[in-house]
Amino acid sequence: ELKVEQNPLFLSMQEGKNYTIYCNYSTTSDRLYWYRQDPGKSLESLFVLLSNGAVKQEGRLMASLDTKARLSTLHITAAVHDLSATYFCAGDYNQGGKLIFGQGTELSVKP
């Protein structure tokens, strides 16, 4: 059974700093997803990573996938307060299959 683990679980950052969230998964996953969740809200899709070496960027967020290491990273560049949220990575076995989520990383960006 696929297991997905994130670290850190809590991250307090200062505005302007860089940091990386790590997502390890235990077995082969077809795809790796990153979602953002604001408090009390739904999950917003950020990135879908399909293959080894995939890198995607949107604004201050960049996600990458290393299937050999079973590792995905979400890198935050020059953090701003608006990025404060909980970030989840999730893997799936096959197209149309269930998502297995990590525990989430609660990010707080302070001025």
Contact residues: another protein, CB under 8 A: 31, 33, 35, 41-45, 48, 88, 90, 95-104
**Coarse DSSP helix, strand, coil percentages of the chain, rounded to the nearest 5 percent:** 5, 55, 40
Could you tell me the smallest distance in angstroms from the CB atom of residue 78 to another protein? 27
- In the bound state with another protein, the residue whose beta carbon lies nearer, of 56 and 80, is 56
- In the bound state with another protein, the residue whose beta carbon lies nearer, of 42 and 111, is 42
Q: Which of 72, 68, 85, 69 is nearest to 11 (CA)?
A: 85
Could you tell me the smallest distance in angstroms from the CB atom of residue 42 to another protein? 5
Ramachandran region of residue 59, left (φ > 0), alpha (ψ -120 to 50) or beta? Answer: left
- In the bound state with another protein, the residue whose beta carbon lies nearer, of 41 and 110, is 41
Could you tell me the smallest distance in angstroms from the CB atom of residue 89 to another protein? 10
Which secondary-structure segment (H or E) carries 37?
Answer: strand 31-37
